[in-house]
Amino acid sequence: MSVASAATRTVPFHVPHTADRQYAYLRQALDSGSLDGDGPFSARATELLSRLTGSRHVLLTPSCTHALEIAALLMDLAPGDEVVMPSFTFAPTASAFALRGAVPVFVDCHPDTLNMDESSLESVITERTRAIVAVHYAGVACEMREILRIAEAHGLPVIEDNAHGLGASYHGRPLGGLGGLAAQSFHATKNVHCGKGGALLVNDDGLVERATIIRDRGTNRHQYFLGQVDKYRWVDLGSSYILPEILAALLAAQLEEFDTVQKRRHAVWDTYHDRLADWASDQGVALPTVPEDRTHSAHLYHLVMPSETDRMALLRHLSEHGVQATFHFQPLHTSPAGTRHGRIAPGGCPVTERIAYRLVRLPLYDGLSDAQVEQVVNALLSFRTGAARVNDRKDPR
């Protein structure tokens, strides 16, 4: 029977942010007649993103996946070329490059930050390597100094998958502004969103012109509008990668409230971190690690349980206490498409395999009330690891 009574209503895992001005902006965008994209709201969202990331060239896209696809097109990948990335990430990080015939090469992650282990980079780079993709898991930066150093030594571009990291920093510099290219997500599950949207940040000035063309169906329409050419034509490979203006209106409204959203998310994150510290160390549970030289984006709060059985038991326990929690990425190197299109680093990804099946994400969003946070904390404090092992339940994968 459920322990959750009428008084303890279920805390949803995620509720997307609602911005005060989003309805007004949507109406304005609809009435403006400029609906296809790159209109005034797109300009506003672009400017706000530029300020947040320090990136001079921001191109709004219909998703982070599409931004990664533009990045892959910019790399001029040929079949058999290789792109190095962590196994512990979302499918599109790999799929965007595999679509161009490249082979994703999966490396393991650090057990604390869950970010790509840069010490394995040298051993996987070959003459076919064309790029390194750094995913800032949970909005905690990868070891960018080392990654950029290795990339430079091999003449490789670094692409940041910064879907989680808007607002976070590394050595005082905003994430998204560190690699030659970076991809942002404004999917409804991210800190601010427009339902589905994204952006490509182009920090390498040499790639801006082609990125603009690829995003606009492979045409030089942008140069035509600027009066640089007298007609616009098909000049390169490309696709329809411009964010519609209506979604840009929603995004602009959300980005204007970014600081408020982040303030609340950080407060919730900090509460979890403080209140769970003793319990976690007693129970052998690992809480998130944020190294001192970087700030995080409060995108997610995760626990790594001592065993898969404890993970299943905790998810069940939380559900009985009216708390929706969930797991996260399934390792790409063992996924059906990952094994077909990818290659695994020598030595495999043992850390990824260990943590992926033990990880639990807690509710974290700006709409959480203090009472809801309390409910989540109390539900966790009443859980003991190890107990479920007696029942010898087998975890489904």
Ligand X SMILES: *Cc1c(COP(=O)(O)O)cnc(C)c1O
Stretch of 139-147, 158-166, 231-239, 285-293 contacting ligand X, by CB under 6 A:
158-166
Q: Which of 190, 196, 263, 394 is catalytic?
A: 190
With CB under 6 A as the contact rule, the residue among 82, 108, 143, 161 that binds ligand X is: 161
With CB under 6 A as the contact rule, the residue among 55, 93, 169, 375 that binds ligand X is: 93
Stretch of 15-23, 38-46, 90-98, 259-267 contacting ligand X, by CB under 6 A:
90-98
Phi first, then psi, for residue 4 (nearest 5°) are: -65, 120
Tokens 């995003």, residue located: 215
Q: Is 14 an interacting residue with respect to ligand X (CB under 6 A)?
A: no
How would you class 122 by CB atoms within 10 Å of its CB: exposed for 0-12, middle for 13-18, buried for 19 or more?
Answer: exposed
Stretch of 37-45, 87-95, 144-152, 262-270 contacting ligand X, by CB under 6 A:
87-95
For 170, the token pair is 């590394």
List binders of ligand X among 109-148 (CB under 6 A): 135
Nearer to ligand X, 272 or 329 (CB): 329
CB burial readout 268-283, b (16+ within 10 A) else e: bbebbeebbeebbeeb
d(CA 107, CA 229): 45
d(CA 42, CA 392): 54
Residue 263 catalytic? no
Residue spans of beta strands (DSSP E) within 218-313: 294-295, 301-304
d(CA 66, CA 239): 9
Strand-pairing partners, residue 304, are 286, 359
Nearer to ligand X, 161 or 256 (CB): 161
Strand-pairing partners, residue 21, are none
Stretch of 6-14, 88-96, 302-310, 380-388 contacting ligand X, by CB under 6 A:
88-96
- Tell me, residue by residue from 39 to 78, as one string, x for binding to ligand X by CB under 6 A and - for no binding: ------------------------xxx-------------
**Residues found near ligand X in the complex (CB under 6 A):** 63-65, 89-90, 92-93, 135, 161, 163-164, 185, 187, 198
